[in-house]
Amino acid sequence: MNDSNSGMDAGVFDQFIEQLQRYVRERLLPAEKQIIETDRIPEDIMREMRDMGLFGLTMPEEFGGAGMNIQQYTRTVRELSYAMPCYRSITSINIGMVCSALKNGGTEEQKAEWLPRLAAGEIACFGLTEPGSGSDSAAMQTMAVKSGNGWVLNGTKRYITNAPHANVALILARTSKEALPKNAHVSAFLVPMDTPGITVGKPDKKMGQAGSHIADIIMEDVHLASDSLLGLQEGRGFIIAMQSLDNGRLSVGSAATGYARRALDSALRYANERKAFGEPIANFQLIQQMLADSEIEIYAAECMLEDAARRADLGENVLVKAAAAKVYASEMCGRVVDRVVQIYGGAGYLAEYDAERFFRDSRIYRIYEGTTQILQLQIAKHMLREWAQQG
């Protein structure tokens, strides 16, 4: 069995990536038209993704997962994200967020109960954001109150990816009315979604990302057993969430980078096919400049992500580097898809061409798992703290 950082055997991983690349191009890309029309991933593809182990990439082998390290996981996300975003979205909460939280903070009993189920393809969601709070934990309203041997949960979570399909939610809730130092007023709970008192709102209509669904989770007097508290420890929810968000941010950065590559490949093909003034527009230097700038920026994002993931596997604190890589990759993707629309010209504004979809799908990458602006503040805060300590 692998330790937590060694990951999958390198040769086996290379074979897996080759298989995944073929699967993405031969199976997932052709299904995109159907997903756009129906706003859902076909059930046969969901079964195939479960059979390929895509829901358990980073789960330890003893719990039925592939045992990938973070470098291997981020590479896998890049390859999967060459296809439309919903394929990553349905798997990534299991892997990047809830699995990380269980590995970092769960009891052995909680790991034994939930990790095999998540690895097999049960769907998880992660409940942090609320109507009035996101990264601001002091404003969190969801409350968990002790009751007998368990807890009673009340509150609403907003914009929760996979909520309409989830079997389990990792919910962050206050266990103290006062805002405590180091966010010790926030705890994490493993909540089966069929627990009485839980209502999932109607899926929100979104700008892009067809086939990926978000919705509110409303909790009214939800009674939970005592062992639903992650790690059986109060006050560690926000710390565990932030550790999980490092993986989540590397996943989003990898998704943005993989999708930027897809968009650039599309623009490269179009520029060679589209003719103006009697020759392919790929011959025009200002088109070449947009293609070259995009290639340069994708390469830079790949390097940042690989470095941050390598450091994470070595056990380094990568909070700043994961945030930096996510910011750069997501902003880079926005610039690339904007250029792709420009290269397509008038056709780039039409829904019948892919460029318009790439543009809409990519916009969310700069927002979720921490907006660019929140992460800039976080990075600067750590820089200033280190400066002060050196003084």
CATH, residue 231: 2.40.110.10
pTM attached to this predicted model: 0.92
Task: Indicate which residue of 297, 302, 369, 386 is catalytic.
Answer: 369
Examine the domain organization and report whether 166 and 247 are in the same domain: no
Residue 136's CB is within 10 A of a number of other CB atoms, namely 11
CA separation for the pair 11, 192 (Å, rounded) = 38
Q: What is the pLDDT of residue 135?
A: 67
Q: What is the pLDDT of residue 2?
A: 38
Whether residue 352 lies inside any domain: the answer is: yes
* Long-range pairs of 20-26 with CB within 8 A, sequence gap ≥ 24: 20/52, 20/76, 20/79, 20/80, 21/79, 21/82, 23/48, 23/52, 24/79, 24/80, 24/82, 24/83, 25/82
Examine the domain organization and report whether 374 and 245 are in the same domain: yes
> Which two tokens mark 133?
């709070």
Examine the domain organization and report whether 372 and 281 are in the same domain: yes
Apex 180 CA angle, 174 and 186, nearest 5: 25
Whether residue 391 lies inside any domain: the answer is: no
Whether residue 5 lies inside any domain: the answer is: no
In the annotation, is 369 catalytic? Answer: yes
Helices (H), the chain: 10-23, 32-38, 43-51, 70-80, 86-92, 100-105, 108-119, 237-273, 285-313, 319-344, 354-362, 372-390
- How many domains are there within the chain? 3
Examine the domain organization and report whether 256 and 289 are in the same domain: yes
Domain extent for 133: 125-235
The candidate with the shortest Cα–Cα distance to 192, out of 239, 149, 162, 224, is 224
What CA–CA distances, in Å, run from 213 to 78, 109, 191, 197, 203?
21, 30, 19, 21, 6
Whether residue 186 lies inside any domain: the answer is: yes
Q: Domain end: 235, 254, 277, which one?
A: 235
pLDDT per position in the chain (391 positions), as tens? 334 468 899 999 999 999 999 999 999 999 999 999 999 999 999 999 999 999 999 989 999 999 999 999 999 999 999 999 999 999 988 887 888 899 889 999 999 999 999 999 999 999 989 998 876 777 889 999 999 999 999 999 999 999 999 999 999 999 988 878 878 899 999 999 999 999 999 999 999 999 999 999 999 999 999 999 999 999 888 888 777 788 889 999 999 999 999 999 999 999 999 999 999 999 999 999 999 999 999 999 999 999 999 999 999 999 999 999 999 999 999 999 999 999 999 999 999 999 999 999 999 999 988 899 999 999 999 999 999 998 7
The candidate with the shortest Cα–Cα distance to 256, out of 91, 370, 366, 92, is 366
Q: What is the CATH number of the domain that holds 361?
A: 1.20.140.10
Q: Domain end: 76, 105, 122, which one?
A: 122
Whether residue 174 lies inside any domain: the answer is: yes
> What crossing angle do the helices spanning 285-313 and 237-273 adopt, rounded to 10°?
150
